[in-house]
Structure 1
Amino acid sequence: MNPLLSVENLRISFPSRRGPVEVVRGVSFHLGRERLGIVGESGSGKSQTGRAILGLTPPSGRATADRLEFDGIDLRKASTAQWRQLRGARMSMVMQDPKYSLNPVMTIGKQLMEAVRIHGGKADARAKSLAMLEAVQIRDPERVMHAYPHELSGGMGQRAMIAMMLVTEPDLLIADEPTSALDVTVQIEVLRILDRLVSERGMGLIFISHDLELVSTFCDRVLVMYAGRVVEEIDAARLSEAEHPYTRGLLGCLPKIVGDQRPLPVLARDARWLE
């Protein structure tokens, strides 16, 4: 079976006073209809990788790849019209904080229905929007349809944003730290929603996070990124058996509630990791 997404030798650079700075350095992976976690420190290139897949590298940046293919479509050669058909319809992205992703002057209902009308036709836009709000476990979808983003709690706003990204039934969902701004109980709810929707709809999910424990329990496979490179790829269930010293170092820095009371170690760096 052909993969849903194929990425080979993805490189992203940005200009600086000293010349171009490469922030993603030769990332390669394949994604089926599964849950792929991408973990690493802040600045390791996780989010830029996700944005490049959707053709959202900032204008100042430059993204190249030997292969960037989605369901048989060469994204490197996609026209503006093709991107318009793909983004929001077959490929979607959930951002970290709904406050910066939802339109503050439009109600949730109008934003949902706009997505349906643009990508899925005008028929039953309202019914589809209400059904999607119910699917993400919003108990009073009619009220939320008439609410503005600032009138929703963080967890409710995140669920509304997930509904907006999924209302067009995309084949690929990129979730960029979708639970980092939420408390633990709401985190669990959001993850259950994503898990159920991925399973029921057969989507491919790229789950970007810095939380190794979360990724190890939620995802099927994990890519570990360091300084723009993938240094290790491993089954999520075997993350505790990782062999690369950087991954081992990240695992060693996780705090423990009971047992070992020694100070957390400082992660040592090695220039050979960049070779």
Structure 2
Amino acid sequence: MTDLLTVEDLRITYPTRQGPSEVVRGVSFALGRERLGIVGESGSGKSQTGRALLGLTPAPGIATARRLEFDGIDLRQASPATWRALRGIRISMVMQDPKYSLNPVMTIGRQIVEAYRTQKGGAKTAARDRAMAMLEAVQIRDPSRVFNAYPHELSGGMGQRAMLAMMLITEPDLLIADEPTSALDVTVQLEVLAILDRLVADRGMGLIFISHDLRLVSTFCDRVLVMYAGRIVEEVKASDLANARHPYTQGLYTCLPRIEGSQRPLQTLQRDASWAL
């Protein structure tokens, strides 16, 4: 499998009164067209890592790497024009909470159409048809209503689906999902995971799924990177998480209450929750 993304020795540093502070320290991994989970507690550096892959490290932070390549493109030397050709077209990112990512004074449909036309061009009518089709693809039952709704008129789960539609409408090669289900209830989590699972399989995307919930990731991803204090402390197949060796990984795996059926495969959980889809 050819690597879509290669990261070697990624470091992110912020200035402080006591001197430079590294919040991401020597992160290295490769990603193919697969589902890769990045897991860790708050402050472990996982979201900073995801943003750095899109060149979105906020000032005054500085991101450096020995190697940072996407499909043969050296992202360390990427010009503004190169980033414009990548962001939202070949690499998309879904943020944690749609309330802070969607424009509150624009309808959902207008935002999706604008995102599509900015990247792909074309007539407004064609873009609207494409947006409606994308809303249907993320399993929104009444796409016309959602298309004309404002963000505050949607539930958290519906808003998250609208965000997925906006990020996926350009058919990216890589999707970075930063805790897209953490604010959702269990049933809606399963719906969003089912959508991502199907889209990755159908479109052959690479997916980086960032979360603090190791058990959730274990039912969904192919591989898992476990981060602590800015470093990757363990890389393990999702199917082998029960046999993880690092004490921190073991702690994350066993700290949550065990609910009957919580370790069943994602496909089984989806079937059991199919009444809500």
Partner of 1:106: 106
Percent identity, aligned pairs only? 78
Partner of 2:29: 29
User: Which residue of 120, 131, 134 corresponds with 2:133?
Assistant: 131
Whole-angstrom distance in 2 between the partners of 1:115 and 1:212: 32
Partner of 1:96: 96
Q: Is 1:66 matched with 2:70? A: no
Q: Is 1:52 matched with 2:52? A: yes
Whole-angstrom distance in 2 between the partners of 1:47 and 1:180: 13
Which structure 2 residues correspond to residues 1-275 of structure 1 after superposition, within 5 A?
A: 1-123=1-123, 124-257=126-259
Offset at 1:56?
0.3
Whole-angstrom distance in 2 between the partners of 1:245 and 1:138: 41
AA of the residue aligned to 2:166: M
SS of corresponding position for 1:103:
coil
- Kindly provide the CA deviation profile for residues 27-83 of structure 1, in whole angstroms up to 9, marking residues without a partner as x: 000000000000011100000000000000001100000000001110001111111
Whole-angstrom distance in 2 between the partners of 1:238 and 1:229: 20
AA of the residue aligned to 1:200: D
Whole-angstrom distance in 2 between the partners of 1:52 and 1:97: 19
AA of the residue aligned to 2:60: S
AA of the residue aligned to 1:181: A
- Kindly provide the CA deviation profile for residues 111-139 of structure 1, in whole angstroms up to 9, marking residues without a partner as x: 11111111112231011100000000011
Whole-angstrom distance in 2 between the partners of 1:90 and 1:114: 17
Whole-angstrom distance in 2 between the partners of 1:244 and 1:186: 31
Structure 2 residue runs without a partner (length 5+): 261-277
AA of the residue aligned to 2:181: T
- Normalising by the residue count of structure 1, what TM-score does the alignment of the two structures yield? 0.92
After TM superposition, which residue ranges in structure 1, 4 or more long, deviate above 4 angstroms? none
SS of corresponding position for 1:218:
coil
SS of corresponding position for 1:6:
strand
| More deviation, 159-168/114-123 | 114-123
Offset at 1:145?
0.9
Offset at 1:254?
2.1
Whole-angstrom distance in 1 between the partners of 2:86 and 2:73: 10
User: In the comparison of the two structures, how many residue pairs are matched?
Assistant: 258
